[in-house]
Structure 1
Amino acid sequence: MPSRSDITYFGAGPALLPTDVLEEAAKALLNYHDTGLGIAEHSHRSQLAADVINQAKADLASCLDIPDDYEILFMHGGGTGQFSATAYNLVGAWVTRKQQEISGGIQGDPTDPKATQQLKEAVDNNLKIDYLITGGWSQKAAAEGERLFGSEHVNIAADSRETNGGKFGTIPDESTWKLSKDAALVYFCSNETVDGVEFPAFPKSLLPGPDGKGPIVVADMSSNILTQKISVENFSAIFFGAQKNLGPAGITVVVIKRSFLPPITSQPSARLMRQLGLPIPPIIFQYETIAKNNSLYNTLSIFDVYIIGQVLAKLLRTYPDKVEGQQAMSDKKARLVYDAIDAFPEIYKVIPSKAVRSRVNICFRVTKGDDIEAAERAFLEEGIAQGLTGLKGHRSLGGIRASNYNSVPLEGAEKLAKFIRAFATS
């Protein structure tokens, strides 16, 4: 029976957590700060819980250099829940803006039939949600937008399958994107875990103009958050599940510009949204409600937030330059693995195009011999024998997937690279 130290886990999520963080968490589960109660037993309404939340928020803001005009929310529902939540909330914000335009900048009377009719015409003719489809997760996000709002309101601004033989593995050139003029949001998945595709940089066509205005950009960064420095101010909202680089499954983090969190009284009423033929979010997916209650509108898992806080504190201790230091390490580990794969082009084939290879989810096929499936089974079995686990590719794609999350140590990447080379020459 292998011990924890014998295993290097490359699973796509839930991912490996730092051993020292888990050891401290085990103590906290039994007796947190000598209170006689474990952290999972304390009330989420207690000052202790508020302190855990506030410290985690402060450390995340420090790690990512989040500007002061952004709010951090801890929510449930995973990244999949945010496919709905971002659309609900930002379509609501779009309706509010149109309502104010119609009423000359003053909050209109929702009972005025003429104003409501004008607003409904604006919704019917102009409301669009834009999606850049580059893999399985962005495909699911677009499908959810269409399910909630109808195909007439969803604009697929780009789909990599259209220029890649019906398969994912590339990002279409920005010159081909068909962005809407005034979209409620433009969604993209920064890193596709299934297909191993990562945006190499923030898209130039989505950057704010000289006046500071630009598209309302929403990014799913569930798998590559905290692996690279980002300019948060380029985004209207970012969301990410905790279970890749931040903590256990169960908490989803939303970083959103506060201008999209007006008082509840200035949001479109449920009645108005129904008159417009638009859905309204469940209350636990309503951003301004979560923000107003410091993520405690409903019972939040404080234990999960505690682990998030411990992971962030460890990152800050390890890298004085914060996420830039972590990025250098992530890049170094990825280079080790890709260099080993690329050294044997007759044995291995990386699935996505080289220009968009993910640093975080390294997806490849083993083409050694005539039977690819048999070769990949042998690769996985020999890897497990050496303590390299979690390497099986996603069920929809097959092959091998090495997830290079922050908790994978440099020694683990070195061990995998060595095994890749040894397997090729055996």
Structure 2
Amino acid sequence: MHMNPLNNLNFSGGPGALPESVLLQTQQSIMEVPEVGLSVLGISHRSDWFAAVVAELEANMRKLLGLTDNYHVLFMQGGATQQFSMIPMTLLRGKTSPAEYLHTGYWSGKALAEARREGEIRVLWSGESGGFHRLPENEELAFSPTAPYFHYISNETVEGLQFHRVLGRDDVPRVCDMSSDFLSQPCEAERYSLIYAHAQKNIGPAGVTVVLVRDELLKDAPTDLPGFLDYRSQIQAHSIFNTPPVFAIYVVLLITRWLLNDIGGLSRMAEINRDKARLLYSALDGSNGFYRGRAETKDRSLMNVTFNLPNPEIEKRFLAEAQTAGFSGLAGHRSTGGIRASIYNGLTLQAVEQLVGFMEDFERKRTR
């Protein structure tokens, strides 16, 4: 079975590239899952096979992240967007103290609007007036001990910003959207009360969202939530409350096997991701201002490298020539423009080396 090599040069912000070995297994499973004899697209979510998939995937997540038994591992639908609503419905409704949020980019801004539907929130810090080029320092954040929870996004995909530390108070529940850096590196999961991440960056195709939730967080949750939007219903049903995205969940299982068996765990994955990011940022920093990184150096994302060229016309030419050369998905988000190279888990170091070679050639032709 021959895979299209252009997939290896997919720098899209999402859906991101999947490892070639996983794509090959996925291709096979669409025709026939060997142990079942049916296409994965036609296997019942009530089958013993799928129950075993969910059980193994949960176990793999626990192993990769070192989760203790008081965490539930859920595979839900609705993307991170549904979590923007479910979290305040569960944790903010009826509370007298405001929940605390950070506004560090495009996606954290989306979360604010949904939270305000359920109760009062306090935006501890916003980078909007500065164009979202940096993240807050610790001394800029005054956390309240009475907040029902504190919410932030670990990696802002659009702006190319990433926190390289855990934020918040240990006595206030931490809630974190890790959609674009989940399983890209080790994570102090036990310091969070709830972590959520949709799949289509590092861990699979769109359609499934991983939610890790600490058991104690749900003890005072409202009792009148719709069943589908109640974490306790989803826990009781082992993520099969209704028809789940069987295919997407199966691909996430293949990704966790790849991380455990082929890569060797999250520490090794982090090393590979740091090498990719170092190579690409070195190309920016060594270009004498031809390539201009958007994010402050200390806050640079290891997942999404955002930059500009001297003017929009040159950016347009860069994107056109990159596309012709086989590099896909390099256009910046519609809200920011510019260039964005997303270097998620599935994208190889060799792909980044090829992109850097292209960038050096492009620069040379315009500056000699």
Amino acid at match of 1:307: V
Residue 319 in structure 1 maps to residue 263 in structure 2: yes
Runs of 4+ in 1 over 4 A off after TM superposition: none
In structure 1, what is the Cα distance between the partners aligned to 2:298 and 2:323? 30
* Residues 133, 156 of structure 1: 8 Å contact kept: yes
Deviations, residues 126-153 of structure 1 (Å, cap 9, x unaligned): 331110111011111011111x125xx1
Kindly state the Cα deviation for residue 81 of structure 1 after the two structures are TM-superposed: 0.8
Q: Does 1:302 align with 2:226?
A: no
* Aligned match of 1:59: 60
Does residue 287 in structure 1 map to residue 231 in structure 2? Answer: yes
Does 2:150 match 1:149?
Answer: no
**Larger relative helix fraction:** 1
1:424 aligns with 2:363: yes
TM-score when normalising by structure 2: 0.94
Per the alignment, residue 205 of structure 2 pairs with 248
2:348 match? 409
Correspondence for 2:30: 29
CA distance, structure 1, for counterparts of residue 145 and residue 36 of structure 2: 56
Q: Does the CA contact (< 8 Å) of 2:106 and 2:158 recur in 1?
A: yes
After superposition, give the CA deviation of every residue in 1:33-62 in whole Å (9 maximum; x if it has no partner): 353322222221221111011111111111
Match of 1:360 among 297, 303, 319: 303
List runs of 5+ in structure 1 lacking aligned partners: 96-122, 209-213, 271-280
- Quick check: 1:346 aligned with 2:346? no
What SS does the corresponding residue of 2:206 show, helix, strand or coil?
coil
Secondary structure of 1:28's match?
helix
Which residues in structure 2 correspond to 1:26-175 (within 5 Å)? 26-91=27-92, 123=95, 126-146=96-116, 148-150=117-119, 153-162=120-129, 164=130, 167-175=131-139
Deviates more, 1:27-36 or 1:243-252: 27-36
CA shift for structure 1 position 287: 0.5
* Contact kept in structure 2, 1:336 and 1:413, CA below 8 Å: yes
The 1-side partners of 2:36 and 2:303 are apart by 39
Q: Is the 8 A contact 1:341 1:421 kept in 2?
A: no
- Two-structure CA RMSD over aligned residues (Å): 1.7
User: Residue type matched to 1:191 in 2?
Assistant: N
| Preserved contact between residue 239 and residue 253 of structure 1 (Cα < 8 Å) | yes
Q: Is the 8 A contact 2:153 2:177 kept in 1?
A: yes
Deviation of 1:29 (Å): 2.2
Q: Is the contact between residue 223 and residue 360 of structure 1 (CA under 8 Å) also seen in structure 2?
A: yes
SS at match of 1:33: coil
- CA deviation string 1:350-372 (max 9, x = no partner): 111111011100000011xxxx1
Number of the residue aligned with 1:108: none
Counterpart of 1:219 in 2: which secondary structure? strand
Distance in 2 separating the partners of 1:16 and 1:315: 15
In the TM superposition, what whole-angstrom CA distance separates every residue of 1:317-340 from its partner, at most 9, and x where no partner exists?
1233x1000000000000000000
Report the alpha carbon displacement of residue 19 of structure 1 after superposing the two structures with TM: 2.3
| 1:179-258 alignment, distance < 5 Å | 179-203=143-167, 206-208=168-170, 214-258=171-215
Name the % identity: 33
Amino acid at match of 1:131: Y
Q: Is 1:4 the equivalent of 2:7? A: no
Letter in structure 2 aligned against 1:309: L
Q: When the two structures are superposed, what TM-score results if normalisation uses the length of structure 1?
A: 0.82
Against the structure 1 CA distance between its residues 357 and 34, is the aligned structure 2 distance closer, same or farther, given a 3 Å change threshold? closer
Match of 2:275 in 1: 332
Secondary structure of the residue that 1:269 maps to in structure 2?
coil
**How far off is 1:17 after superposition?**
1.4
Aligned partner (choices 299, 307, 314) of residue 375 of structure 1: 314
Task: Tell me which amino acid in the other structure corresponds to 2:297.
Answer: K
Cα offsets for 1:286-345 (capped at 9, x unmatched): 11110111001111011111100001101111233x100000000000000000011013
How many residue pairs get aligned? The number is 363
Instruction: Select the residue among 123, 131, 141 that pairs with 1:177.
Output: 141
Provide the secondary structure at the position in 2 that maps to 1:254.
Answer: strand
Contact 2:65/2:186 (CA < 8 Å) preserved in 1? yes
List alignment gaps of at least 5 residues for structure 2.
none
Q: Distance in 1 between matches of 2:222 and 2:211?
A: 21
Are the counterparts in 1 of residues 18 and 204 from structure 2 also a CA contact under 8 Å?
Answer: yes
Distance 2:3 2:242 in 1: 38
Contact 1:158 1:178 survives alignment (8 Å): no
